[in-house]
Structure 1
Amino acid sequence: MLEAKNPWTTKSSRTAYENPWIKVEHNEVITPGGTDGIYGLVRYKNHAIGIVPVDAEGYTYLVGQYRYALDEYSWEIPEGGCPVGTDPLKAAQRELREETGLEAEKWTKLMEFHLSNSVSDEWGVAYLARELRHGDAEPEDTEELRLRKVPLAEAVDMTLDGRIKDAVSILALQRVALLEARNGADEKKFQNIRQSP
């Protein structure tokens, strides 16, 4: 794929708002069409991390929590933040343990992604975690979490019927399903997930 040069020109930039997690920039720009304009941009101080944990029986674990920004309850894969400049895999291992009490022997990087790329620079990565060991969860003070064990195929179905709306969860769970389908596994049972590369 050919990559074009940046058609935008930034004339000035200032921070309109900042907290420990995000910075909001107000930019005066020249648009690709040559006109003056503005561009608001949210810069994240953490990368998005998502984990699909799968046990030997083909079950995965979902985390339920009330999302303040949406004012609704949400079922998701274990997720968290990775401070920019730190190791995403270590952050994923920490988040899995904190939210579920699980630790995994095998980790496979599923994908990288951009979220809301028209207004933010948020970047994320998702992993498949296998060969699980159970321990005690250690949620943060800002989290009130519920844990639910479901067949992996049901979790994928939840992304299709709207019970899971979280973008990171949809991306990661459907990526696992697509990889399984490509590897020739039964798309409903995902029995060979623990042998996938």
Structure 2
Amino acid sequence: MMNFNEKTLHKESIYEGRIVDVSVHDVELPNGKTSKREIINHPGAVAIIAVTSENKIVMVRQFRKALEKELLEIPAGKLEENEEPENSAARELEEETGYKTNQLTKVTSFYTSPGFADEIIHVYETDQLFEGVTYTDEDEFVELVEVTLDEAESLIKEEKIHDAKTIFAVHHIKQQRAQANLKND
């Protein structure tokens, strides 16, 4: 079996920001040749699949500068230093939506763009919501939106829901509901 590891020969930090750091790595490839890798380092993130007692999916509408458009997304945010993902998920849910929960269940974790970034996102779910207080960051502008599963699937087709974590969340909810219907039959 071939060893695909790349050995870092030299690493240069070219940007240190509030959310990401960027470095360029000179690497030795498995065939002995060299190449460059541009790497984005990110502290990690959380996302929350929250469903109301009316079976509506909790989302936020926000403008995404990198895409120059508004998207509907499930609540999500960056892990703070030394913060446990579950605590971060509860904090982000309340900050962005005004909903609180005492019951979060981990669904999965996945890398968002492993070709150039080390960001991992931890996905949690809850259907146990109660009212809290919205308090977004001073540079964050979001609007709470609640949609049915059918509406969410239409919004995916319209590319108003157009990010991987939210599309994953919608498919996860659909799969869970299908499994529940099978058990009830």
Maintained 8 Å contact 1:15/1:25: yes
Please report how far the alpha carbon of residue 107 of structure 1 lies from its aligned counterpart in structure 2 after TM superposition. 1.3
Gaps of 5+ in 2: none
Report the counterpart of residue 37 of structure 2 in structure 1: 39
Cα distance in 1, alignment partners of residues 179 and 11 from structure 2: 46
The answer to whether the aligner puts 1:108 opposite 2:105 as a matched pair is yes
User: Among residues 14, 17, 32, which one is paired with 2:15 in the alignment?
Assistant: 17
The question of 1:177 aligning with 2:177 is answered no
Work out whether residues 98 and 134 of structure 2, in 8 Å CA contact, stay in contact via their aligned partners in 1: yes
**Number of matched residues?**
184
Richer in strand (by share): 1
Q: Deviations over 1:59-94 (max 9, x none)?
A: 121100111121111111111111354200100000
- Aligned-partner Cα distance in 2 for 1:41–1:105: 36
AA matched with 2:18: P
Choose which of 161, 166, 171 in structure 1 pairs with 2:163: 166
Structure 2 residue matching 1:163: 3-state secondary structure = coil
The residue aligned with 2:52 is: 55
Task: Give the Cα separation in 2 of the matches to 1:51 and 1:168.
Answer: 9
**Percentage of matched positions with identical amino acids:** 28
Runs of 4 or more, structure 1, over 3 Å off, are: 3-6, 182-186
TM-score by length of 2: 0.89
Please tell me the root mean square deviation across aligned C-alpha atoms, in Å: 2.2
Q: Give the whole-Å Cα distance in 1 for the aligned partners of 2:56 and 2:157.
A: 18
CA distance in 1, matches of 2:97, 2:2: 43
TM-score of the two chains, using structure 1 as the length reference: 0.84
